[in-house]
Structure 1
Amino acid sequence: MSAGSIVSAPDGQPVVLGEIGQRVLLVNPRVRVWEVQLPPGGSQPWHLHHNPYVVLNLETSPCRMDWLDGSPARFLSEQVGGVVHRPVSPVHMLTNYGEANYRNRIVELLDLGEEASGVPDPALPAARAATDGLALTEVFADDEVRVRGVEVEPGARHRWQAGDVPVVVIGLSHPDTDGVHYLAPGGQHEFAADATGPHSFRLVELTYLGGDGR
């Protein structure tokens, strides 16, 4: 069931499913990255995830997740830069009941969901990651993904090379300008910060594809 599909609530009322985010920031055969942005009191409509996904928080506010099947609500208190990895899940909706803006990035793992394609990445030479003096901190890891944090000092620039698995790079400090980037194995990315302050990034490594990402 995709956006626009009609499902029934427990009381029999029809519910039209929405998208899982407001806009798609990146899509390829491996991943789809969404932005979710909710002002105080705003809600994401009822929706259904068909793929396992990773949530990275950019702006935090208390939120409530409600389930269409009537299961008890889940109350969320996330931290900026925090990571949650979820499997496919029943129909639910998210409401910002706090007083601040809420924003995240959702990285859908298409290989592990309904759009599994087996399409290989572009032919780039796999290699051990080259850090150019960049310090990486592990933020989250399980059997499917690893997320590492990057802090770039004011005015600094670092060239980083991915290892033997694909990586999604997500900017936290200035998400509208740092953007979202996909690196195939061995691909390179330049991390930079202007003179006004440090920039923070997250690297979502698709370790389910094999290798250690280093």
Structure 2
Amino acid sequence: MKGQIVHSPAGEAVVLDDVGQTVLLDNPVVRVWDVSLPAGETHPWHLHHNPYVVLSLAGSKARMDWLDGSEPRFLDEYRGGSVYRPLSPVHRLTNIGDRFYQNRLVELKDLGENLPSPADIGPGDRSVEGARPGPDRADGRRPVIDHPHVKVWTVAGGGKLDLTDRPHVIAALERDGDVSYHSGGPLTLTGPGEYFVLELTYPAQ
């Protein structure tokens, strides 16, 4: 969390930042952040206290550096893709591409801060551009991630969705698009454009 002080292997004090830049939604179940990085910019050192889902609005090549000196991880996220991530060591994210990078980062409180200790979710999951983990739904949803804890789809607006009675996060795939929380059941998306639909299936585990 912002303001927390940790130390590098060399003993240097590092003041951590938040996991995102702007909170768009915060309730007892989820906290949703905007993460936006123009080309060449870095989101400072931070530490996740909750497993989280990344919903990618604008992709670019990026590099994740670890405070403990481990080898960096290189990413190439794409619009409409998603990542489900466990807690990880202190890191920072740099947009090393030539395009604007943006995501909606959804913290899952019931797998983290709402527990005595965070849940072990294993390696999580990651979508693959051009591949789908299953067939489209009858209501138009196209699968992006299909994990026992979370399911992610994209869908065009203007229709009625046949959602389960599980909590959902709905996020427009636009730079300044809305984010909302839906407690479950049918939902009509009246707006145009595309949306992410994130279903939280882990309460059933």
Q: Percent identity?
A: 48
Q: CA deviation at 1:89?
A: 0.9
Conservation of the 8 A alpha-carbon contact between 1:170 and 1:202: yes
Conservation of the 8 A alpha-carbon contact between 2:154 and 2:194: yes
Q: Which residue of 1 aligns with 2:161?
A: 160
5+ long unaligned stretches in structure 2: 117-137
Counterpart Cα distance in 2 of 1:158 and 1:94: 36
Counterpart Cα distance in 2 of 1:35 and 1:139: 20
Counterpart Cα distance in 2 of 1:181 and 1:187: 14
Task: Return the letter of the residue paired with 1:210.
Answer: A
Counterpart Cα distance in 2 of 1:143 and 1:186: 19
> How many residues align structurally?
184
Task: Return the letter of the residue paired with 1:75.
Answer: F
Conservation of the 8 A alpha-carbon contact between 2:139 and 2:162: no
Conservation of the 8 A alpha-carbon contact between 1:162 and 1:183: no
Q: CA deviation at 1:192?
A: 2.5
> Which of 139, 149, 153 is the equivalent residue of 2:154?
149
Counterpart Cα distance in 1 of 2:26 and 2:80: 22
Q: Which residue of 2 aligns with 1:207?
A: 201
Conservation of the 8 A alpha-carbon contact between 1:160 and 1:191: no
Kindly indicate whether residue 142 of structure 2 is the aligned counterpart of residue 137 of structure 1: yes
Of structures 1 and 2, the larger Rg is shown by 1
Q: Which residue of 2 aligns with 1:29?
A: 28
Q: CA deviation at 1:63?
A: 0.5
Q: Deviations over 1:107-126 (max 9, x none)?
A: 00000002349xxxxxxxxx
SS of 2:164's partner is coil
Kindly indicate whether residue 42 of structure 2 is the aligned counterpart of residue 48 of structure 1: no
SS of 1:24's partner is strand
